[in-house]
A and B are shown apart, each in its own frame.
Chain A
Amino acid sequence: MTAAALPRDAHGHVDQLYIETRELRLQGFLLFLVSDCVLFSSFIFAYLYLRNSGQGWPPPGIQRLDVAFAAWNSVVLFGSGATMHYALENFKHGKFMRYMWFLLATIVLGAGFLGGQAYEYNHLIFGEHVTWWGSGIFGASFFTLTGMHGMHVFLGVCYLTVLVLQSAAGVYTRGKFFGITAGTLYWHFVDVIWVVLFSIFYLL
Chain B
Amino acid sequence: MNAALIERLGAVIAGIVVAVVAFYALYKDWKSTGVENQVFKLMLLLLGLGAILALLAGLNVIGFSPAKGA
Partner-B contacts on A (CB < 8 A): 23, 26-27, 30, 64-72, 74-76, 78-79, 81-82, 85-86, 89, 181, 184-185, 188-189, 191-192, 194-195, 198-199, 202-203
Contacts and interface: CB of A to CB of B under 8 A. Distances in A.
B58 A71 contact: yes
Contacts of A185: 36, 39-40, 43
B43 A202 contact: no
Interface string B29-70: 000000110011001101101110111011000111110000
Contacts, number: 117
A188 B57 contact: no
Main secondary structure of the interface of B (DSSP, over half): helix
Given A188-B47, A191-B43, A203-B63, A68 B4 contact: yes
B21 to A, nearest CB: 4
B31 to A, nearest CB: 14
Interface string B8-26: 1011001101100110010
Contacts of A192: 43, 46-47, 50
B65 A67 contact: yes
B43 to A, nearest CB: 4
Given A71-B7, A71-B11, A181-B36, 12 more contacts: A26-B36, A67-B63, A67-B65, A68-B57, A75-B10, A78-B51, A79-B17, A85-B40, A185-B39, A188-B47, A191-B46, A194-B50
Nearest to A58: B64
B46 to A, nearest CB: 5
Given A188-B40, A202-B57, A75 B22 contact: no
A82 B22 contact: yes
B10 A78 contact: no
